[in-house]
């Protein structure tokens, strides 16, 4: 383990994902957008249950769950959450029960949204589903999950909660500290120099973990987070907090300066889980140029931001898109994702 990453090795971790994930060039997309050299880190290929970034994060949460001898995992998220779907699959694989709480974060949903995509998979993996009426109440959602856990405990179960609200150890971010090391190794092996990395910024575990890992390993490449849930002001504070918490976990000084936290919220409107024309165009562009499957909630918006950054950097630019998965949600949105 790399000394710069402090106590990373000391955390319990279960291997759930396939890795290292490929790092590929997107020559067609570059040709079609007039960009320079464009690359994609294929974390949609982490393997378990359609893959995605949450596989890396869950390796640490479920490592802790196993170390505590838990027999039931509890997690909360949006109705079409990839995190809860991946947790349900991981719990099944590890022989644990899974309780999922689905929050109403997206307005005006239809039957397809409520039954297809990730919801269908949650049921297929045998999870017990609960619903929470508010989508903007992280603390309340965590509290309700705590009540479900207390009930299970009273019945003799050993529950483990994957927490949502800030104020908990950001164990999931450690998965992206590891990803940072993997990316740095791949870039060095292939002699690739990157001018900018573009990544989703939601709970912030992926963004903060990646940024922290790269800086700790001595890489100063700009990392631009694309806001998918909150505006830049709220997200800036969130990423700064996560970075401080990662430093505490690893027991090293944070190598991240405030100026390192770069964010764009141009593609957030009209809100979390809601489409806009640049996102639909970006989803279609990636599919048609590279055969990549993006999603309407996260990676489609990130690709819209990536294409904006590509245009701004021009022919000389060399940019890396972190593909964090999310494909099942595409089916829950259906034809609404297609550009007009």
Query: At its nearest, how many Å lie between ligand PLP and the CB of residue 255?
Result: 19
Element containing residue 189 per DSSP (H, E): helix 173-189
Contacts with ligand PLP in 203-262 (CB under 6 A)? 203-207
State the Cα–Cα distance between residues 236 and 243, nearest whole angstrom. Answer: 11
Element containing residue 313 per DSSP (H, E): helix 299-313
Q: Is 318 an interacting residue with respect to ligand PLP (CB under 6 A)?
A: no
Contact segment (CB under 6 A) with ligand PLP among 2-10, 249-257, 308-316, 319-327 equals 319-327
Return all residues near 116 (Cβ < 8 A) that are at least 6 apart: 331, 332, 334
Interface residue with ligand PLP among 35, 255, 325, 328 (CB under 6 A) is: 325
Q: What is the DSSP letter of 36?
A: S
Q: Is 299 an interacting residue with respect to ligand PLP (CB under 6 A)?
A: yes
Q: 202 or 317: whose CB is closer to ligand PLP?
A: 202
Which of 291, 317, 280, 292 has its CA nearest to residue 38? 317
Q: Is 276:32 a contact under the CB 8 Å cutoff?
A: no
Residues present in the chain in total:
340
Q: Is 272 an interacting residue with respect to ligand PLP (CB under 6 A)?
A: no
Q: 310 or 324: whose CB is closer to ligand PLP?
A: 324
Residue nearest to ligand PLP (CB): 326
Q: 32 or 232: whose CB is closer to ligand PLP?
A: 232
> How many residues of this chain bind ligand PLP (CB under 6 A)?
19
Query: At its nearest, how many Å lie between ligand PLP and the CB of residue 148?
Result: 21
* Residues with catalytic roles: 81
Q: Is 179 an interacting residue with respect to ligand PLP (CB under 6 A)?
A: no
Return all residues near 155 (Cβ < 8 A) that are at least 6 apart: none
Name the token pair of 134: 């508010």
Query: At its nearest, how many Å lie between ligand PLP and the CB of residue 64?
Result: 17
Name the token pair of 340: 């007009």
State the Cα–Cα distance between residues 272 and 78, nearest whole angstrom. Answer: 10
Q: 44 or 196: whose CB is closer to ligand PLP?
A: 44
Interface residue with ligand PLP among 163, 202, 213, 255 (CB under 6 A) is: 202
Give the orientation angle of helix 173-189 with respect to helix 232-250, to 10 degrees: 90
Q: Is 82 an interacting residue with respect to ligand PLP (CB under 6 A)?
A: yes
Element containing residue 24 per DSSP (H, E): strand 23-25
State the Cα–Cα distance between residues 307 and 301, nearest whole angstrom. Answer: 10
Interface residue with ligand PLP among 201, 224, 276, 308 (CB under 6 A) is: 201
Q: Is 53 an interacting residue with respect to ligand PLP (CB under 6 A)?
A: yes
Query: At its nearest, how many Å lie between ligand PLP and the CB of residue 225?
Result: 8
Expressed in percent and rounded to 5, the helix, strand and coil fractions of the chain are 50, 15, 35
Q: 152 or 200: whose CB is closer to ligand PLP?
A: 200
Please give the residue ranges that form the binding site for ligand PLP (CB under 6 A). 52-54, 82-83, 200-207, 295, 298-299, 324-326
């Amino acid at each position: 383990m790399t000394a710069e990453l402090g106590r990373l090795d000391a955390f319990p971790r279960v291997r759930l994902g396939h890795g290292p994930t490929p790092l590929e060039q997107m020559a067609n997309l570059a040709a079609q957008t007039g960009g320079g050299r464009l690359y994609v880190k294929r974390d949609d290929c982490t393997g378990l249950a359609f893959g995605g970034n949450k596989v890396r994060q869950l390796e640490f949460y479920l490592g802790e769950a196993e170390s505590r001898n838990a027999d039931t995992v509890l997690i909360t998220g949006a109705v079409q959450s990839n995190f809860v779907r991946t947790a349900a699959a991981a719990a099944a694989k590890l022989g644990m029960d899974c309780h999922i709480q689905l929050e109403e974060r997206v307005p005006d949903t239809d039957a397809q949204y409520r039954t297809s995509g990730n919801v269908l998979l949650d049921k297929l993996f045998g999870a017990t589903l609960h619903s929470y009426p508010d989508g903007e109440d992280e603390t309340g959602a965590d509290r309700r999950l705590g009540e479900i856990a207390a009930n299970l405990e009273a019945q003799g179960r050993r529950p483990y909660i994957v927490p949502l609200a800030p104020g908990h150890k950001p164990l999931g971010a450690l998965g992206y500290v590891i990803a940072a090391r993997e990316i740095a190794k791949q870039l060095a092996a292939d002699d690739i120099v990157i001018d900018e990395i573009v990544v989703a910024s939601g709970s912030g575990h992926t963004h903060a973990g990646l940024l922290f890992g790269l800086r700790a390993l001595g890489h100063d490449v700009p990392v631009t987070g694309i806001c998918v849930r909150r505006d830049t002001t709220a997200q800036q504070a969130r990423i700064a907090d996560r970075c401080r918490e990662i430093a505490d976990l690893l027991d090293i000084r944070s190598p991240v300066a405030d100026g390192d936290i770069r964010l764009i919220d141009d593609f957030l409107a009209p809100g979390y889980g809601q489409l806009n024309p640049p996102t639909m165009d970006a989803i279609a562009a990636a599919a048609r140029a590279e055969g990549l499957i993006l999603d309407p909630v996260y990676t489609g918006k990130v690709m819209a931001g990536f294409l904006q950054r590509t245009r701004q950097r021009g022919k000389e630019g060399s940019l890396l898109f972190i593909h964090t998965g999310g494909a099942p949600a595409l089916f829950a949105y259906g034809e609404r994702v297609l550009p007009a």
